A and B are shown apart, each in its own frame.
Chain A
């Protein structure tokens, strides 16, 4: 599992409540990502981080926020959960340096945790 722990593994929550998912890594990797996986859509990027306190939006970031105060932890928060956010959420990590045609970067694929299954009722 590449030293990635996601918590909780399962959660059921009600519409309108805030929810925070945690990703913890022991690899000291610079890059961390949050994806959601839904039938028919594959994996879609929510937010990612390229360093402590450095984050950016992915393709489906609306309704989500993230924080990274330490290298090892990347938190995903649903400010006010909606039923459309029922999904399986995966955290991923990646080593490497940012930008440019860098062979080291291309040799560092994402490694995923085992996911958090979130149900919003």
Chain B
């Protein structure tokens, strides 16, 4: 079946370095993609989103890249800080069913001081 998944379950990053979190999806109809951050004991928090007619979108210290050819999504975090330690999820939805997001299992990012 089609699914959304992240390449690595964990990522350890030195404070100040850039982080790259990857996500692969298999649904060729996926049209809208979202990255969420979840801290312990809290609900997922929206970070940034991108539509399929874009290949890059930037936010504050974050950049999302979309490669539809290989069905790959990535989240780049610049100058990673201790507060970036969390679980990161990608989510996708196809055009015709766009309010039913499918989530990946998550990547746990740990920032080393």
A interface list, Cβ under 8 A from B? 1, 4, 31, 40-45, 48, 50, 58, 90, 92, 94, 96, 98, 101, 105-107, 109-115
CB-based contact B99/A48 at 8 Å: yes
Which residues between 24 and 78 of chain B lie within 8 Å of chain A, taking CB atoms?
A: 31-32, 34, 36, 41-46, 49, 51
Please indicate the chain A residues that have their CB under 8 angstroms from the CB of B89 in the complex: 42-43
* Residues of B that sit less than 8 Å from A by CB: 31-32, 34, 36, 41-46, 49, 51, 89, 91, 95, 98-101, 103-106
Q: Which residue of A has the minimal Cβ distance to B98? A: A105
Determine if A31 and B44 form an interchain contact, defined as CB atoms under 8 angstroms apart. no
Distance (whole angstroms) from the CB of B8 to the closest CB of chain A: 15
Q: A43-B89, A94-B99, A105-B98 are in contact. Are A110 and B105 (CB under 8 A)?
A: no
Given contacts A107-B49, A111-B46, A115-B43, contact A42 B99 (CB under 8 A): no
B105 and chain A: residue at smallest CB distance = A42
Closest 3 interchain pairs by CB?
A112-B43, A43-B103, A42-B103
Nearest A residue to B41 by beta-carbon distance? A114
Which residues from chain A contact B91 at a C-beta distance below 8 Å?
43
Measured CA separation A3–B31 after assembly (Å): 27
Q: Contact: A42 with B106, CB < 8 Å?
A: yes
Q: How far is the CA of A41 from the CA of B49 in the complex (A)?
A: 22
Determine how close the nearest CB of chain B comes to the CB of A103; give it in whole angstroms. 8
27 contacts between A and B (CB under 8 A): A4-B43, A31-B99, A40-B105, A41-B105, A42-B89, A42-B104, A43-B44, A43-B91, A43-B101, A45-B101, A48-B99, A48-B100, A96-B99, A101-B95, A105-B99, A106-B49, A106-B51, A107-B49, A109-B34, A110-B44, A111-B46, A112-B43, A112-B45, A113-B43, A114-B41, A114-B43, A115-B42
Nearest B residue to A2 via CB reads B46
* Cα–Cα, bound, A50→B70 (Å): 33
- Is there an interface contact between A50 and B104, defined as CB atoms closer than 8 Å? no
The distance from the CB of B41 to the nearest CB of chain A, in whole angstroms, is 7
A110→B91 CA distance, assembly (Å): 10
Other than the given A42-B103, A112-B44, A114-B41, 6 more pairs (CB < 8 A) read A42-B89, A42-B105, A43-B103, A107-B49, A109-B49, A110-B34
